[in-house]
Amino acid sequence: MGVADSEVQLRVGQEILLDAVKLWTDILDFVRPRISREGFETWLAPTKGRAIRNGTLEVDVPNSFFADWISQRYSAEVRAALAGVSGQELTVSFRPRDAADSGVLIRRTPVRRPSMKPNGYRLQAHLTFENFVVGESNRFAAAAARSVAERPGANYNPLFIYGGVGLGKTHLVQAIGNHALALKPGLKVYYTAADDLFVELIQAIEKNTRLEFKNKYRGLDLLLLDDVHYLIGKERLQEEVFYIFNSLHDAGSQVVFTSDRPPQDIPTLESRLASRLGSGLVVDVQAPELETRIAILRQKAVMDRADLPDDVAYFVAARVRTSVRALEGSWIRLLALASLDSRPITIQLAQEALKDLVKEDEPVDHNRIIKACADHFGVSLSEITTGGRTKQLALARQVAMYILRTTLSLSLKEIGSLFDDKDHTTVMHAIKKVDELKIKDPGFAARLEKLSKGINRGEPR
Ligand code: ADP
Ligand code: MG
């Protein structure tokens, strides 16, 4: 819908009313699939187009906090939407309902279709290494990503990053793009997700522009292809991806893939990448452990200039365990609640904020962990907590101590007290032992991971 047409139809004095509502709705439809669902529901759903005046689209928002937040967080998406939806220069101004005239602006957008811009196309400025919290769960992936960003094509090519939903894969590949471009502004960097590539391919076939399609990809220095598990079962798309990949690889350009599973679980991809994976690297990102979750929350709070007390950070991090995305959703919810009612961030507020968001997440208590470990090793609860020196018992106890430490972050002393008042050095030794075993025995590491995750999801054994 062009704004110009409706201006003619709907002009009422200087204001165009109906039109603003519709235009903003169109913009939101464009933005919705591009940001997180929590983010959309929390920040954008309560907004409404009010008027278009002198080249400015005025949008009602609940208060000035929303205005700041939306313009800080979502201005790139809103700008892209403006270019895509209205096709002409417009400024968006957010008008807090509580203060009629102190709007926050997203300024004039140069109208350029994003696809005309090969450098850094579709990179989001805030997805950087600086904003990526590194912990045990993602250390290796983050290091590999940095190395690739610093010298694209030179180190690991392709780099293949896999892991579950919301664990930071997109963040990492975007950070690669942003960092590589910052170091070398002329670099041709292109980020796309496999499903978008699919749409693009279909359009190229329909419009008979396959050559342009191919050439566009062939000329890149760095291709970031997100979510390649989408290729499963799409033969035609796979052909194209291999063609693109091979020509880039042959030219020494860097390719980074992400996926929700390792390459061997995408059989056609793996067999066709196999010869090339020799020069590449496969890394995974795991669910963040408690310390990392707390660090991520702290970082979000700093970025949002909010005061997050330690006990609240712990409270939220202990309950939201499945992904960083869920954690971020909880934080956004908490912050929105605090700002809407001008309340300080407290445990009580966190309880409210998490009420609907994390139904699955009953806090894990220590009894459940100890019981699950006892079950797993086929020993009784009293055997695991008191005496008993067989090898199996010792291991069961060590694993339980380890999981208590990593998931609940109990102190060594607290853990000791749960096991017939063992000394804190015994607990320390147990944790060290498990750490060593994890390194020595990958099978053990995998079982431990599974056990630990099972407990977290409330399904012991
Ligand atoms: P994935 O692509 O693996 O599904 P994303 O990269 O989209 O996950 O991450 C989900 C959200 O969590 C994003 O907003 C991202 O910025 C944030 N995030 C993920 N990992 C981290 C991290 N280690 N530090 C800070 N933020 C993170
Ligand atoms: Mg992703």
Query: For atom 5 of ligand 1, which residue has the closest CA?
Result: 168
Pairwise pLDDT comparison (170 vs 460), residue with the higher score: 170
**Residue 461 in tokens:** 């054994």
Whether pLDDT at 108 is above 50: no
Q: Residue 2: what pLDDT?
A: 38
CA distance 408 to 369: 10
SS3 content of the chain, % helix, strand, coil (to 5): 55, 10, 30
| Ligand 1 geometric centre to CA of 101 (Å) | 35
Confidence of residue 412 (pLDDT cuts 50, 70, 90): confident
Q: Which residues pair with 159 in a beta bridge?
A: 256, 281
What are the structural domains, with CATH classification, of the chain? Answer: 3-113 (3.30.300.180), 120-285 (3.40.50.300), 298-354 (1.10.8.60), 366-457 (1.10.1750.10)
> Euclidean distance between the first and final Cα of the chain, in Å?
56
Percentage of the chain modeled with pLDDT above 70: 86
| Ligand 1 geometric centre to CA of 173 (Å) | 10
Q: Are 325 and 331 in contact (CB under 8 A)?
A: no
Q: Which of 411, 361, 370 has its CA nearest to residue 393? A: 370
Atom number of ligand 1 nearest to Cα 131 = 25
Helix (H, G, I), strand (E, B) or coil at 146: helix
Residue 214, number of CB atoms within 10 A of its CB? 15
| Ligand 2 geometric centre to CA of 223 (Å) | 15
Residues with CB under 6 A from ligand 1: 127, 131-133, 138, 163, 165-171, 296, 324-325, 328
Q: Residue 339: what pLDDT?
A: 83
CA distance 315 to 327: 12
Confidence of residue 86 (pLDDT cuts 50, 70, 90): low
Q: Which of 45-54, 287-296, 381-390, 411-420 has the highest mean pLDDT?
A: 287-296
Atom number of ligand 1 nearest to Cα 164 = 3
Q: Residue 120: what pLDDT?
A: 54
Atom number of ligand 1 nearest to Cα 135 = 23
Ligand at shortest distance from the CA of 132: 1
The pair phi, psi for residue 332, each rounded to 5°, is: -60, -40
CA distance 151 to 252: 11
Q: Residue 103: what pLDDT?
A: 45
Confidence of residue 173 (pLDDT cuts 50, 70, 90): very high
Beta-carbon contacts of residue 17 (< 8 Å; ≥ 6 apart): 10, 50, 51
Mean predicted lDDT score pLDDT of the chain: 83
Percentage of the chain modeled with pLDDT above 90: 36
Mean pLDDT within 11-36:
70
Whether pLDDT at 105 is above 90: no
Q: Which residues of 77-108 are buried (b: 16+ CB within 10 A; e: fewer)?
A: bbbbbbbebbeeebbbbbbbbeeeeebbebee
Q: Are 408 and 289 in contact (CB under 8 A)?
A: no
| Ligand 2 geometric centre to CA of 169 (Å) | 5
Q: Residue 12: what pLDDT?
A: 32
Query: For atom 19 of ligand 1, which residue has the closest CA?
Result: 168
Could you report the per-residue pLDDT of 296-325, keeping only the tens digit for each?
999 999 988 899 999 999 999 998 988 898
Instruction: Go through the chain and tell me how many residues it has.
Output: 461
Mean pLDDT within 47-73:
83
Q: Residue 40: what pLDDT?
A: 87
Environment class of 62 (CB within 10 Å of its CB; exposed 0-12, middle 13-18, buried 19+): middle
Pairwise pLDDT comparison (387 vs 21), residue with the higher score: 21
Atom number of ligand 1 nearest to Cα 172 = 6
| Ligand 2 geometric centre to CA of 328 (Å) | 14
Beta-carbon contacts of residue 151 (< 8 Å; ≥ 6 apart): none
